[in-house]
Amino acid sequence: MELNEKIEGVLEFVQKAPRYTGGEMNTAVKAWDQCPLHFGFCFPDTYEIGMSHLGLKILYGLINREEWSLCERFFMPWVDMMEQMERENIPLFSMESRHPLRDFEVVGFTLQYEMSYSNIPAMLKMGGVPVLSRDRGEEDPIVVAGGPCAFNPEPLADIIEAFMIGDGEDVMTELNRVILRRKQEGLTREECLRELSRLEGVYVPSLYTVEYHEDGTIAAVTPKDAEVPPVVRKRVVPDLNDTYYPEEIPVPYTEVVFDRIMLEIMRGCTRGCRFCQAGILYRPVRERSMETLISLAEKLVSATGYEEISLSSLSSGDYSCLPELIRELMKRLKDKRVSISLPSLRIDSVLKESLEETQQVKKSSLTFAPEAGTQRLRDVINKGVTEEDLLEKVRDAFEGGWSSVKLYFMDGLPTETREDLDGIADLARKVVNEYFRLPKEKRMKGLRVTVSASTFVPKPFTPFQWEAQDTIPQVQEKQEYLKQILSIKGVKFNWHEPHLSFLEACFARGDRRMGKVLLTAWQKGCILDGWNDQFHFDRWMDAFRENGLDPAFYANRKREKDEILPWDHIDSGVSKEFLWREKEKSEKALTTKDCRLGCNGCGLQTWKGVCGFANRSGV
């Protein structure tokens, strides 16, 4: 029986068959034999998560626009489909042509979340690709990865052969050209990887050795020879107006998490929140022009039929022409009943006019992120907002006809006290009071204030990368306390699974030895760990014990200033000295100004032509 027939034969036995059917509008189905390079883009989570990811859509279009390359998508199957695939001997297959993963010259994973790591060996094994890089032969694909988690590549160093660090638009094409040369000129695997290591922003872990002290800390990370760079510097796209952005995107047949047009209006953030990894990794700030964005919006609406556009960035309210952009988009798209949503709003952004414009078609829930319950702790994390900022914006929203507000906080932040937790409930209560202050006839019915508290995870390349995470019992105690004090009419409280956050911290700050834990846990059946009903914490703890490692060494231990961190040979553009200074300021609850108000000397000012804010400051 042919592969297609086998696949069609099992789809009636699984939930959500459209996860596997392919054929969506705007997918690129290119002639396999006419493209010499085949790239398998693997999203290590389910279809509805992967199809919500903007980076996939950008790189999918970018690779497919080249005549010589094609890109096809792979997603992690759900457990019911995996059972059918194993029973019928069906390999992991692409959405477009249903070729097995092993048929591609390049297999690329995007690393968005540490708890998706166990899906990587699972997908490779199902696709017929050897899991460990040392076991791959000359006929096997080159396995690469990128995304924010690639900035600490070490836990995956035994699996991934080359990591793309930083912005992917330029380096992706360069990497594919090298791998095409491997195929056309007969380069060996070793020769190809060495060629890749010469590209700016590409890290090849097999070309480095890692030594450890007796206490388990790192003694040195050393290139194997002089041709290998001792430090790999991230790749930066300097001008978003000159880089690729898709004018049409695949439209899923089934519901996905973010089923709308995502229009990236800017990349990077100038605010400097000390817990925020993305705010460091995506520096410097680069904005797309209004003209570019309006043109893209009109083309995407025409190509997809979507009725919602999300203006995407780390802090959409900071886009310098936001009111003008929204006004023009509404003017052009109102007749098509297209609504505009604003995610990632900062409390102190100038929003009132923008909110009034976006409500013309449809109201959605507004999301704000105070992060901490007291001003002292907001200063510790350099959030740069006040309680009055929040209440003013909530007041504007309620007066403008909103009744649903989401508030994001974190628990377990460095220096946190019981008073800071009390402050979360106090803020929630004040938000509810703002609603009831309005005359009854002016209130939109159905008040909903959703308070979410995620557990602090110390991340690489942040001022808090040296800090310890709370232990699981400490987190559980705080969550129970928050449940009690947030029992407020009109307020719903959500929290994160503390065992998941604990493992996330282990991988976020892990070294190469974490790779053995990962493989052991996967062999014990750990997959789809980001889904609570599939997560098996006991198996992970067994994997740590069998490999002689203590998870608390990674999650619950403070680092010293002079300790070599597993990611110190990766250059994010922001200096370690700057991050340490920010850590010291946090201990005194001292804030650092927004980069837009003047250069803070983070290190990017030494990258000529990259950091526009440093240049404007005369640095």
Q: What residue spans define the domains of the chain?
A: 3-233, 365-507, 574-616
Q: Is 532 exposed, middle or buried (0-12, 13-18, 19+ CB in 10 A)?
A: exposed
What is the pLDDT confidence band of residue 410, given thresholds at 50, 70 and 90? very high
Structure tokens belonging to residue 430: 């004040």
Q: Give backbone dihedrals phi and psi of 407, rounded to 5 degrees, phi first.
A: -120, 125
Ramachandran class of 63: left when φ > 0, alpha when ψ lies in -120 to 50, beta otherwise:
alpha
- Fold agreement between 3-233 and 365-507: no
470-527 confidence digits (pLDDT tens): 999 999 999 999 999 999 999 999 999 999 999 999 999 999 999 999 999 999 999 9
- Which CATH fold would you assign to the domain 365-507? Transcription Regulator spoIIAA (3.30.750)
Question: How far is residue 366 from each of residues 216, 339, 361, 390, 581, measured CA to CA in Å?
Answer: 45, 14, 15, 12, 34
* Residues 331, 585: Cα–Cα separation, whole Å: 46
Give CA separation, 39 vs 35, 130, 222, 437, in Å. Answer: 10, 17, 31, 57
Confidence of residue 285 (pLDDT cuts 50, 70, 90): very high
Q: In terms of Cα–Cα distance, which of 300, 190, 177, 185 is closest to 247?
A: 300
pLDDT of residue 340: 87
Report the alpha-carbon distance of residue 509 to residue 304 in Å, rounded.
40
Side chain identity at 574, as an amino acid letter?
V
- Band the pLDDT of 401: cuts 50, 70, 90: confident
Region 303-331: mean pLDDT is 90
β-strand partners of 564: 218
72-76, 263-267, 346-350, 382-386: lowest mean pLDDT where? 346-350
Question: What pTM was estimated for this model as a whole?
Answer: 0.94
**What would the pLDDT profile of 445-475 be if each residue is shown by its tens digit?**
889 999 999 999 999 999 999 999 999 999 9
Could you tell me which CATH number the domain at 3-233 has? 3.40.50.280
HEC readout, 203-259: ECHHHEEEEECCCCCEEEEEECCCCCCCCEECECCCCHHHCCCCCCCCECCCCCCCC
Cβ-Cβ contacts under 8 Å for 129 (sequence gap 6 or more): 101, 102, 107, 136, 140, 141, 143
Report whether 94 contacts 141 (CB < 8 A): no
Number of residues assigned to the chain: 619
